Amino acid sequence: MLDILAAIIIFALWALVPILIGLLLGADRILTARLQGRRGPTVLQPLKDMAKLLGKRAKQVNLSQVAFAYLALALQAVAVLLLIAGGDVLASLLISGAGAFVMVLGAFSVRSPYSSLGAQRELVQILATEPVLLLVVLSLGYANGTFLASGNGTLLIASLPLAPVAMIPAFLMRLEKSPYDTATAHSELVAGPYTEYSGRALGIIKMAHWFELAVLFGILLLFFDLPDPVMGVILKAAAVATVVVLTALIDNCTARTTRWTLLRSALPLGLVLVGANLTTLYLINNGVI
Amino acid sequence: MAARREATSPWLLHFDTGSCNGCDIEVWALLTPRYDIERFGMLNKGNPKHADVLLVTGAVTRKSAERLKRLYDQMPEPKLVIACGDCASTGAPYVGCYNVLGGVDQVIPVDVYIPGCAARPEVLIDGVMVALEKWKVKKEVKA
């Protein structure tokens, strides 16, 4: 009976994920607007955008393009479900990574130069973020003794304070902020891999992106687990709010750089931060320091 | 209910078919903090495949007519077209010129005509809102 109840809660949470991410993106848009001296949309705007897109007719270039969009959504949704169900974090990250590659394949499946350019940018982003995220999850597994999300229960940020910091460039990229040039700006160039999607197919690929964001936030929140569930939820909400404010601030305070600058800066920074943290933790655990 | 929800998220595509840039400047003014069209859920998109509303400025020249038609065809249904300003609405004062076809409705169907030379940003926002009423009708017809 308890198992059925737990399963219902897990699936309810899973179904709520797109709504929560939509609200989070709405808050992000309001914050960005206020930083720019504008009023901005309502917090529900991303959800309204999604509802509109899913209700529109899609103009597909070819069938494989749409198939890749649905496959990307399925992979990202499974990755999120695995994380919510307390499954393997490493498997969740790898499935989400596969989803990101499928999205790139979808962009490459059409003959549009803009879509191809967007796909290449996406690949550079994957190259810059995935090794760092992998090391973050490995360090999480080392500190925790298990890769299971359910095996957590301690405040990991105390022993791995630099790992969430190393994830910030990944958040900047996945939240499509402008320092790294696949931003949601005003031309075909920067719309990236979404260029050739339209209507419902665009909604599906955007939904896949929302689930991808959920995986990223899910991994971050594992660092803020507390034995007390109420305090844990408050701490996690504070962590998510901090990331949203920080990324909006960085977005509005920095000039736009190229994707190669991103690769040169974010990848070494992330690897050095997590590597240093992991080494220190190893030395402490072995009584060297 | 669904139609009302969808009508609050218009994504705009702006195309200049031969304008003097007066209306274009007013269209771009919509994005500034003073007019901030994002508060109505509107976003400027540079891609016809993502757009719901086509904002056209300027009288349609013979050279731009084919491009205008192609952009219109690339937009997914349901879609709206707004002729911004006097030139886009009627072709005036360039009607009869050897290189001008006339207003936007000579090439593609227009849903809303916005008067003015140049069209004021407030009227442009109002025009999009009026167009969204048509959106609801189009959705119902489709359903």
Report pLDDT for B5.
44
For residue range A67-110, list pLDDT tens digits in order: 999 999 999 999 999 999 988 999 999 999 999 999 999 999 99
From chain A, pick out residues whose CB is under 8 angstroms from the CB of B52: 52, 56
- Higher-confidence residue: B4 or A283? A283
pLDDT at A185 over 70: no
Contact B36 A38 (CB under 8 A): yes
Q: How far apart are CA A211 and CA A231, in angstroms?
A: 25
Of A107-111, A194-198, B137-141, the least confident: B137-141
Mind telling me how many Å the CA of A194 is from chain B's nearest CA?
Answer: 9
CB A91 within 8 A of CB A82: yes
Residue of B nearest to A199 (CA): B76
Report pLDDT for B77.
84
Report pLDDT for A117.
83
Contact A57 B5 (CB under 8 A): no
Residue of A nearest to B10 (CA): A49
Q: Which one, of B73, B2, B36, B46, lies nearest residue A56 by Cα? A: B2
Mind telling me how many Å the CA of B2 is from chain A's nearest CA?
Answer: 8
Q: Is residue B1 very low, low, confident or very high in pLDDT (cuts 50, 70, 90)?
A: very low
Q: Is residue A186 very low, low, confident or very high in pLDDT (cuts 50, 70, 90)?
A: very low
CB B102 within 8 A of CB B90: yes
CB A171 within 8 A of CB A215: no
B4/A contact by beta carbon, under 8 A: no
Q: How far apart are CA A220 and CA A214, in angstroms?
A: 10
Q: Is residue B143 very low, low, confident or very high in pLDDT (cuts 50, 70, 90)?
A: low
Residue of B nearest to A52 (CA): B6
Q: Give the count of Cβ contacts less than 8 A between chain A and B.
A: 74
Q: Is residue A287 very low, low, confident or very high in pLDDT (cuts 50, 70, 90)?
A: confident
Q: How far apart are CA A250 and CA A255, in angstroms?
A: 9
From B33, B39, B74, residue closest to A37, measured CB to CB = B33
Contact B49 A202 (CB under 8 A): yes
Contact A59 B76 (CB under 8 A): yes
Report pLDDT for B6.
45
Looking at the DSSP bridge assignments, the partners of residue B44 are B12
pLDDT at A190 over 80: no
Per-residue pLDDT, averaged over B76-84, amounts to: 90
Whether ipTM > 0.95 holds is no
Report pLDDT for B2.
41
If you count them, how many residues does chain B have? Answer: 143
pTM listed for this prediction: 0.90
Residue of B nearest to A40 (CA): B39
The mean pLDDT value of chain A amounts to: 87
Question: Mean pLDDT: which of A36-40, A55-59, A139-143, A271-275 is highest?
Answer: A271-275
